[in-house]
Structure 1
């Protein structure tokens, strides 16, 4: 159904609709507005990432590929960037992990890969009767590093916008 960014479904094909691009996850300490305004697409951040999770997106701007691994917050990308793209005074990521509907545990299959991979121990498992324990993410502890995303065999872990402290209360 997808090819070259064109929606080949009946309605999309007949109307010439293009598929919407997924929102890119930017490197730590960078925000979409800063990347759009200041990044020149030099790619200096790509080879210095020790985890090899930074790649240039279709616009030539840095984006993270958490499927390849996790961010260790080493700061190499921020140090090598010649433009004011990174702001180390803000939280590293504006997102936290979220468990999607494709989670094996939600479908009755025992799996705790995300919890085992989480360096912040932000993922706990709530026991339930008649099925495997369900993962729950403590958003206050989640650093947004992506370790759980890379570890999930069902690709059920996604990123979600971090709620402000006042809204959680």
Structure 2
């Protein structure tokens, strides 16, 4: 009989610290130690944003769609990895980098149009197109702004720049 816990030593890769795993994780730091890679969360995700990442462990890919915070990934998981739905799903926030079209003086507001929490708003500036202003206090880290960005200049992670 094969001891799967030992076998995992050879397949696990260390994900970068900004890898966004799943919402409501009880202990994100130990996720790769406790996750069995069963894939139930991938099947349960209503927007199909949970994909196999480094080492085959689930992670969120906002280039596909947004997180609706439906809690189906947590409900489907056979392991005790998740907090209750009443807790905050995560501390993840969006950040906008210098590749943003508006910062390059090209009119674009696609991110703010998708932001239900109104965390991204555009402010008029003299001699330039309106510039994005991100309020991290309002941002819930849903990622709706990521897939609609034509330059992929928005990132959602636990480490806001």
State whether TM-score is above 0.5. yes
**Aligned partner (choices 51, 56, 61) of residue 60 of structure 1:** 56
Runs of 4+ in 1 over 3 A off after TM superposition: 20-23, 160-163
RMSD: 1.8
Higher relative contact order (CA 8 A, sep 6+): 2
The equivalent position to 1:47 in structure 2, one of 43, 50, 55, is 43
Whether contact under 8 Å (1:34, 1:84) holds in the other structure is: no
Work out the number of aligned pairs and report it: 144
Contact 1:34 1:86 in 2 (8 A): no
Q: 2:21 aligns with which of 17, 26, 34?
A: 26
Q: Partner residue of 2:140? A: 143
Aligned equivalents of 1:24, 1:78: Cα separation in 2: 18
State whether residues 95 and 144 of structure 1, in contact with CA within 8 Å, keep that contact through their aligned partners in structure 2: yes
Unaligned runs of 5+ in 1: 1-19, 164-169
Deviation at 1:160, TM superposition (A): 4.4
Unaligned runs of 5+ in 2: 1-13
Supply the distance in 1 between the matched residues of 2:157 and 2:123 (Cα, whole angstroms). Answer: 20
TM-score (norm 1): 0.79
Secondary structure of the 1:66 match is: coil
